[in-house]
Copies of this chain bind each other. A is one copy, B any other.
């Protein structure tokens, strides 16, 4: 009963029916261990990880894993699927802060604040591994590289957001869209998937909310890239044809 000691429930705790939760296969054999855990762990370290017996669970397309203001209690690793993290302004405008893919950590906004600062919404039916705060802290004490790994996660997030600020502050619509495609492509490559045949699980509007553009501008830019033979477009499926001319206008 992982939630027995805590009174308030996060969004996901209210949402996920108990039977959807299940003990994870151990970390040793997890497909995403090389992404979510530090490099070069010893067998002993892995047995400590396995002993943690992390819970995993499904979540449906469109559902919120947590929302801004929810109490922070856990971080998550995406075992399958993808997410968006979003800030919704008081007047309804929404800004997407990031898209998270398989293997990415989720929920670190709110580490050391008591509350999350974004909404995290599933872009497709997804599978999550839950790492409650107290287990994470235990790991940081027991496994030396783990502490540093958490720093790395946070630092990487700072660097990623800085890159996003640079994109939003100084790039044209065309540069934004090509950066976006190349970024997804690279991340797919890092996951052993095709870097040229992309299935985008977000709508044009969501891409726009991410890139600081309107959906029509996103659509038009993609069409222009298609006309120029830089990419192929069929709905949410995009094929990258000419990486060179995507990188250098």
Where the two chains meet, the residues of A that have a C-beta atom closer than 8 Å to any C-beta of B are 87, 89, 93-95, 97, 108-113, 117-118, 148, 151-152, 154-155, 157-159, 161-162, 164-166, 168-170, 209-212
| Complex CA–CA separation, A130 to B148 (angstroms) | 22
A95/B166 contact (C-beta < 8 A), A112-B151, A112-B152 known = yes
Question: Are B95 and A165 in contact, with the CB atoms below 8 A?
Answer: yes
Residue among A89, A117, A161, A169 facing the most chain B CB atoms (10 A cut-off): A169
A169/B112 contact (C-beta < 8 A), A158-B154, A162-B97 known = no
| Complex CA–CA separation, A148 to B111 (angstroms) | 10
A169/B166 contact (C-beta < 8 A), A109-B159, A112-B148, A155-B112 known = no
Question: Are A89 and B155 in contact, with the CB atoms below 8 A?
Answer: no
* Nearest Cβ on chain B to A162's Cβ, whole angstroms: 5
| Complex CA–CA separation, A158 to B95 (angstroms) | 15
Q: In the assembled complex, which residues on chain B have CB atoms less than 8 Å from the CB atom of A118?
A: 162
| A to B CB contacts below 8 Å, 29 in the list | A87-B162, A87-B166, A89-B166, A89-B170, A94-B170, A95-B165, A95-B166, A95-B170, A97-B162, A97-B165, A97-B166, A109-B159, A109-B162, A111-B155, A112-B151, A112-B154, A112-B155, A113-B155, A113-B159, A117-B162, A151-B154, A161-B162, A161-B165, A164-B165, A165-B165, A165-B168, A169-B210, A169-B212, A170-B212
Q: In the assembled complex, which residues on chain B have CB atoms less than 8 Å from the CB atom of A165?
A: 87, 95, 97, 161, 164-165, 168
| Complex CA–CA separation, A108 to B159 (angstroms) | 11
Look across to chain B and name the residue whose beta carbon is closest to the beta carbon of A94.
Answer: B170
Question: Are A111 and B162 in contact, with the CB atoms below 8 A?
Answer: no
Q: In the assembled complex, which residues on chain B have CB atoms less than 8 Å from the CB atom of A109?
A: 155, 158-159, 162
Residue among A93, A154, A157, A159 facing the most chain B CB atoms (10 A cut-off): A154
Look across to chain B and name the residue whose beta carbon is closest to the beta carbon of A163.
Answer: B87
Question: Are A159 and B117 in contact, with the CB atoms below 8 A?
Answer: yes
Question: Are A168 and B97 in contact, with the CB atoms below 8 A?
Answer: no
Additional A-B contacts beyond A95-B165, A158-B161 (12; CB < 8 A): A89-B170, A111-B151, A112-B151, A112-B154, A113-B152, A117-B159, A118-B162, A154-B154, A154-B158, A158-B158, A161-B165, A165-B165
